[in-house]
């Protein structure tokens, strides 16, 4: 069998990042066209239990690199731990998420081994003639590039999170799992992560937010947006809105949603006083659940929403805030019955919500 397609996977808060699963599934497609296997390398501490999930998304072989010093990310640590394992695989394609971690260590290995590295990739494949080929974006997403190398060239690829999306898992799919325990000396790591701080919903990028409270002209003014901010705080959600609200200065200019703003894919999109114009709706189609509150029962967004409330947001929002505060207090008094709604949102460092590609159209347009 030809050399495997290799993925170097990442974890955060004890789980695999969706971006890693996207890499595994992309590697699966490439491996099938080459009639070879997908080999995933998973550096970390006590991560062996995640091998089943990697297998369910397409891994044939998993090498877990286990060391306490890998519990938190270190570029020096990753290099020391991953390079020897990767070298043995003799991979032609090595895929890793285009994440903060990947950008810290992979370019160094690419330079050291003189292997080409393609960042911001949205697709990886092999041409009909057998040449490694990647499609990548550049110039802030405005330009698509196609890069092809000579047959057999080893290539490192950093896959842009959120473009492919994560497909359904196939539980029970088998993979061979090996655990290696390298000798690492953390004292030699020049960089180390002291702790990982979850992003503050106030300034988390809307494209990465798991919950969004969104205001339209129906909020009536800056006071209305301030009321929505209170609701967002109760839900640990990010605040966004429509372009016209940002144009009027009621919302920061980088926080409006739509074709000319941010394309979002939250689990919950709660829209208040938003009519649902096409330019706005085009930015929220990746949302898992849409709830809309509007006084006008014919508003287009009410037709699209999973749950629509016909009513005045100024009456609805204070009631919601009160209910959420009561729930929170009850949860604090009896932590065992803490409602799931109030659980802290675990966010990945890069947005790639399962099954909801952030910009799948970028891939669909490719040859
Ligand atoms: C080239 C171009 C690009 C654009 N790009 C974008 C974009 O990227 N993003 C974007 O958002 N827009 C964009 N727009 C603007 C877009 O066409 C709409 O004008 C805009 O989305 C409407 O915003 P809105 O829903 O806040 O306001 P409106 O359409 O005025 O809707 C306000 C809604 O609030 C409801 N309402 C009023 N009072 C209350 C109340 N008390 N309680 C509950 N509901 C109430 C009303 O019934 C109404 O449905 C673009 C326009 C153009 C021409």
Same domain, 151 and 250: no
DSSP 8-state assignment for residue 14:
T
Task: Kindly list the distances between the CA atom of residue 266 and the CA atoms of 28, 208, 286, 344, in Å, as whole numbers in the listed order.
Answer: 27, 8, 7, 15
Per residue in 31-52, pLDDT (tens digit) is 999 999 999 999 999 999 999 9
Percentage, residues of the chain above pLDDT 70: 89
Is 199 contained in some domain? no
What average pLDDT does this structure show over 347-361?
Answer: 40
**Contact 273 CB / ligand 1 (< 6 Å):** yes
Strand spans (E) along 89-190: 93-97, 117-126, 132-138, 143-148, 155-159, 176-180
Q: Which residue has the higher pLDDT, 123 or 360?
A: 123
Residue 59 is encoded by which pair of tokens?
A: 């891994």
The reported pLDDT for the residue numbered 9 is 98
What's the CA gap between 38 and 175, in Å, rounded? 10
Same domain, 139 and 240: no
Is 238 contained in some domain? yes
The pTM of the full predicted model, rounded to 2 decimals, is 0.66
Is 366 contained in some domain? no
Question: pLDDT at residue 122 above 50?
Answer: yes
Give the helix/strand (H/E) hosting 323.
helix 313-333
Same domain, 79 and 225: no
Same domain, 273 and 213: yes
Burial code (b: 16+ CB inside 10 Å, e: under 16) for 109-142 equals bbeeeeeebbbbbbbbbbeeeeebbbbbbeeeee
Residue nearest to atom 49 of ligand 1 (CA): 275
How many structural domains are present in the chain? 2
Same domain, 183 and 126: yes
Tell me how far the alpha carbon of residue 217 lies from the centroid of ligand 1, in angstroms.
6
CATH code: domain of residue 99:
3.40.50.620
Question: pLDDT at residue 357 above 70?
Answer: no
What's the CA gap between 330 and 336, in Å, rounded? 10
- What does the chain come to in residues? 367
Q: Considering 174, 194, 214, which residue would you say is the last residue of a domain?
A: 194
Strands, sheet with 38-44, edge to edge from the N-terminal-most edge strand: 143-148, 132-138, 117-126, 155-159, 93-97, 5-8, 38-44, 61-66, 176-180
Same domain, 49 and 171: yes
The three-state (H, E, C) secondary structure of 19-80, written as one string: HHHHHHHHHHHHHHHHCCCEEEEEEECCCHHHHHHHHHCCCCEEEEEECHHHCCCCHHHHHH
CATH code: domain of residue 210:
3.40.50.1220
Task: Kindly list the distances between the CA atom of residue 334 and the CA atoms of 275, 328, 342, in Å, as whole numbers in the listed order.
Answer: 40, 10, 13
Same domain, 61 and 107: yes
What's the CA gap between 189 and 193, in Å, rounded? 10
Mutate to test the pocket of ligand 1, among 222, 254, 294, 315 (most ligand atoms within 8 A of CB): 294
Per residue in 283-321, pLDDT (tens digit) is 898 888 999 999 999 999 999 999 999 999 999 999 999
Is 79 contained in some domain? yes
Same domain, 245 and 185: no
Same domain, 297 and 165: no
Q: Considering 162, 194, 226, which residue would you say is the last residue of a domain?
A: 194
Question: pLDDT at residue 187 above 70?
Answer: yes
The reported pLDDT for the residue numbered 137 is 86
End-to-end CA distance of the chain: 28
Residue nearest to atom 41 of ligand 1 (CA): 312
Of the CA atoms within 13 Å of residue 329, those in its CB half-sphere come to: 5
Same domain, 213 and 156: no
- What phi-psi label fits residue 217: left (phi over 0), alpha (psi between -120 and 50 degrees) or beta? alpha
Asked if 265 and 287 count as a contact pair (C-beta separation under 8 A), the reply is: yes
Positive or negative torsion for Cα 137, 139, 143, 146: negative
Is 348 contained in some domain? no
What's the CA gap between 58 and 220, in Å, rounded? 50
Percentage, residues of the chain above pLDDT 90: 72
The phi and psi torsions of 49 (rounded to 5 degrees) equal -65, -15
Per residue in 225-271, pLDDT (tens digit) is 999 999 999 999 999 999 999 999 999 998 999 988 888 888 999 99
Is 70 contained in some domain? yes
Same domain, 187 and 211: no
Give the model's confidence band at 343: pLDDT under 50 very low, under 70 low, under 90 confident, else very high: very low
Q: Considering 194, 218, 246, which residue would you say is the last residue of a domain?
A: 194
At which residue do the structure tokens 């990746």 appear? 286
The atom number, within ligand 1, closest to the CA of 312 reads 42
Domain range for 87 is 5-194
Question: pLDDT at residue 355 above 60?
Answer: no
Is 57 contained in some domain? yes
User: Which of 141, 174, 98, 146 is closest to 350 using CA atoms?
Assistant: 98
Across the chain, mean pLDDT equals 89
Strands, sheet with 307-310, edge to edge from the N-terminal-most edge strand: 238-241, 211-215, 268-272, 289-294, 307-310
- Mapped onto helix, strand or coil, the DSSP state of residue 96 is strand
Same domain, 222 and 154: no
**Contact 244 CB / ligand 1 (< 6 Å):** yes
Report residue 350 CA to chain centroid gap. 4
Tell me how far the alpha carbon of residue 275 lies from the centroid of ligand 1, in angstroms.
5
Give the helix/strand (H/E) hosting 12.
strand 11-12
Is 353 contained in some domain? no
Tell me how far the alpha carbon of residue 200 lies from the centroid of ligand 1, in angstroms.
27
Asked if 12 and 99 count as a contact pair (C-beta separation under 8 A), the reply is: no
């Amino acid at each position: 069998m030809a050399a495997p397609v290799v993925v170097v996977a990442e974890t955060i808060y004890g789980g695999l990042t969706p971006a890693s699963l996207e890499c595994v599934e992309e590697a699966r497609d490439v491996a099938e066209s080459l009639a070879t296997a997908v080999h995933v390398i998973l550096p970390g501490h006590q991560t062996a239990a995640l091998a089943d999930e990697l297998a369910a998304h397409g891994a044939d072989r998993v090498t877990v690199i286990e060391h306490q010093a890998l519990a938190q990310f270190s570029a020096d640590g990753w290099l020391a731990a991953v390079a020897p394992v990767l070298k043995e695989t003799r991979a032609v394609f090595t895929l890793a998420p285009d994440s903060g971690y990947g950008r810290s260590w992979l370019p160094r290995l690419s330079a050291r081994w003189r292997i080409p590295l393609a960042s911001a990739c949205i697709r990886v494949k092999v041409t009909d003639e057998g040449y490694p080929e990647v499609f990548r974006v550049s110039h802030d997403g405005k330009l698509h590039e196609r890069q092809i190398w000579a047959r057999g060239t080893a290539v490192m690829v950093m896959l842009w999170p959120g473009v492919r999306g994560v497909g359904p898992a196939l539980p029970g799919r088998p993979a061979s799992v090996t655990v290696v325990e390298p000798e690492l000396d953390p004292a030699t790591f020049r960089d180390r992560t002291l702790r990982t701080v979850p992003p503050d919903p106030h300034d988390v990028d809307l494209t990465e937010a798991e919950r969004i409270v969104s205001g339209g002209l129906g909020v009536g003014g800056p006071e209305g947006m301030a009321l929505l901010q209170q609701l967002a705080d109760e839900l640990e959600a990010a605040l966004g809105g429509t372009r016209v609200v940002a144009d009027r200065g009621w919302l920061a200019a980088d926080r409006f949603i739509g074709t000319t703003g941010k394309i979002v894919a939250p689990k919950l999109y709660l829209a208040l006083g938003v009519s649902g114009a096409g330019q706005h709706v085009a930015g929220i189609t990746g949302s898992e659940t849409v709830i809309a509150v509007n006084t006008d029962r014919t508003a287009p967004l009410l037709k699209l929403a999973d749950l629509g409330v016909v009513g005045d947001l100024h009456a609805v929002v204070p009631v919601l805030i009160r209910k959420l505060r009561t729930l929170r207090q009850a949860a604090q008094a009896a932590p065992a019955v803490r409602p799931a709604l109030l659980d802290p949102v675990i966010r990945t460092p890069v947005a790639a919500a399962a099954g909801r590609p952030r910009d799948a159209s970028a891939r669909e347009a490719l040859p």
